[in-house]
Structure 1
Amino acid sequence: MNKVVVIVISMLIASVAYAGNEDRDALSVDKVTTQGIDFHFPNDDNIQPEESDFEILNYVTMSNEYGERKVVVTLENTSTGNRIFSNEQIMALYANGSRRVAHEKRIGFKGKEVKTLTLSFHISKYPILKVYTRH
């Protein structure tokens, strides 16, 4: 075969492989929601989100085949004053009992304001069971 044919075939194979990976990057809504269920994993190091005036109204967890974890969460600023939401104020509980805060994010809220955000969490082979804040 000449070099041009080999290059063209290689490019076709690479584009097909890339197209296949594109589907794996897509996030899907996790089918099982566990809102309202209490879990009792040990928390010997007392890992907690920072205290805040934010309350979670609802959330939906999402993931892809690479283990990327994201959460669409609706938060309410329960204070009458302006507040800054930061990633340390929300935490995810994973199916192996580990807890992690979201990737860095800072969003301003007016008093009593409600906003829906998409937060990125770490890559994990374990799904997120719950997200929570602390008052």
Structure 2
Amino acid sequence: MKKALLTALISLTFSTVSHAKDYERDALTIDKSVNQDIEFQFPNDDNRYPELSDFEVVNYVTMSNEYGDRKVVVTLRNNSSGNRIFVSDQIMALYANGQRISPYETKVSFKGRETQTLTLSFDSSKFPILTIYTRD
């Protein structure tokens, strides 16, 4: 009986340590900031651009974890006087390998001239996100 109890306690301890390490790897950390005025000149052979919109990126912060998951906290401004719906294909991330990716599907309503901060999820990658941009 004592041996079974000891074995159960040891298993529980290792399980807790294992879950704690997974949690640490899942946790997002803020990536080192890159000056948001830098222009990158990667070739765009696939002609990938965000859809035209009335949205402007005010600022953003990129985040990642040990698994390469990428998220961005972005503040967007609706430059139109009318209501608009932001959809994910109206913004793109430029990765450090030159790849351009839109975030996973998102729809958010904006009032005229409204500014909102959103958290957007992007593809996992070993390359960091360098910049986020829209097209007007």
- Offset from partner CA, 1:40-70 (integer Å, 9 cap, x none): 1111110111110000011111111111111
SS in 1 for 2:49: coil
CA contact (8 A) 2:33 2:61 kept: no
Is the counterpart of residue 26 in structure 1 residue 27 in structure 2? yes
Q: Secondary structure at the match of 2:82?
A: coil
Q: Following TM superposition, by how much is the alpha carbon of 1:25 offset from its aligned partner in structure 2, in angstroms?
A: 1.4
- Regions of 4+ moved over 2 Å: 1-8
Deviation for aligned residue 1:7: 2.9
1:56 corresponds to which residue?
Answer: 57
Give the distance between the partners of 1:32 and 1:117, measured in 2 at CA: 18
The separation in 1 between residues aligned to 2:8 and 2:43, in whole angstroms, is 55
Cα distance, 1:32 vs structure 2:
2.7
Deviations 1:81-120 (A, max 9, x none): 1000000000000001111101111000000000011111
2:13 is matched with: 12
RMSD of aligned C-alpha atoms? 1.3
Residue 20 of structure 1: SS of its match in structure 2?
helix
TM-score w.r.t. length of structure 1: 0.94
Residue-pair matches, total: 135
Deviations 1:15-55 (A, max 9, x none): 10111221221111111323111111111110111110000
Secondary structure of the structure 1 residue equivalent to 2:121: strand
Q: 1:29·1:60 contact (CA, 8 Å) conserved in 2?
A: yes
CA contact (8 A) 1:33 1:60 kept: no
Structure 2 CA distance, aligned partners of 1:102 and 1:34? Answer: 21
Mark the runs of 5 or more structure 2 residues left unpaired by the alignment.
none
Give the match for residue 102 of structure 2. 101
Write the distance in 2 (CA, Å) between the matches of 1:79 and 1:101: 22
1:91 aligns with 2:92: yes
TM-score, length basis structure 2: 0.94
In 1, distance between residues paired with 2:36 and 2:78?
Answer: 20
